[in-house]
Amino acid sequence: MPINSKGLPAQTYPVINVSTGMMRSTWYQFFVEFAANALSVSGSNGLVVVTSSGFVARVLATGSSKISITNANGVSGNPTIDVNQGNLSIGTTQLTGTLAAAQFPALTGDITTSAGALTTTLATVNATVGSFTVSSITVNAKGLVTAAANGPTLASGVYTPTLTNTTNIDSSALVNADFNYMRVGSTVTVSGLITIDATATGNTVLGISLPVASNFGSSGQCAGTISSSSVVSECGAISGDAGNDRATATFVATTAASQTYGVHFTYQVI
């Protein structure tokens, strides 16, 4: 088919009228009738489309409020399609991807951040920091340590006590080189073996120094026993000596011969 400089057929061919079905002799008449039918679609505004029934007017429409269309029928200008960002929700599957750091809000509470930043900071719930021995800690419902402090003092070992021959004693000595002691908090327990050579039978008093110093205010702040390992009747009490801040063992000697005694007492660190 020859085409002229305007892009139309240069020859005439019989064609069919699109509305009447009658024959027309030129392509020019075909194009004119085609345009006339398109422009006569019910007098409606909008975009013209061809359907199996003929020509109809259409307008662009959105499926939800998340999309907006300006000039949907094209009458006032070109249709413009845009996204209504305010109608989109990040809390659902409407948006996916990675949120930029600049879009992060400021967090408050146990973990804080600055708006537009990803660096997080744990809130200070315990101002006492450091290492603690036998620690006493407080933990809140979130598992955070809200308070911490050292627990009771724990200590144990041996020491060499000083023995003071106060009453009715010629000599006294340690059986072993040391006494044993154990401290829990402010309570100290002491045990050991000693020999005592009484001057005569009768009331006998021996002073025993302490492994951990204490400032006794009364005799009841120290208590224990002393007993002979060979003479059943030779046993007595140990109490606090407030004047000298030491333990005092008192018993009745039944013989002037040297005897071995077991010592056990507990006292308070004052």
pLDDT in the model for residue 128: 77
Give me the amino acid identity at 87.
Answer: N
Residue boundaries of the structural domains of the chain: 123-151, 155-268
Which residues of the chain, if any, have pLDDT below 50? none
pLDDT in the model for residue 243: 97
pLDDT in the model for residue 105: 87
Tell me the CATH number of domain 155-268, given options 2.60.90.40, 2.40.50.100, 2.30.110.10, 3.10.310.10. Answer: 2.60.90.40
pLDDT digit string, tens, across residues 126-181: 777 777 776 778 888 777 888 888 878 899 999 999 999 999 999 999 999 899 99
Query: CA–CA separation, 234 vs 251, rounded Å?
Result: 7
* pTM reported for the whole predicted model: 0.54
Burial class (CB in 10 A: 0-12, 13-18, 19+), 51: exposed
pLDDT in the model for residue 130: 78
CA atoms within 13 A on the CB side of 45: 8
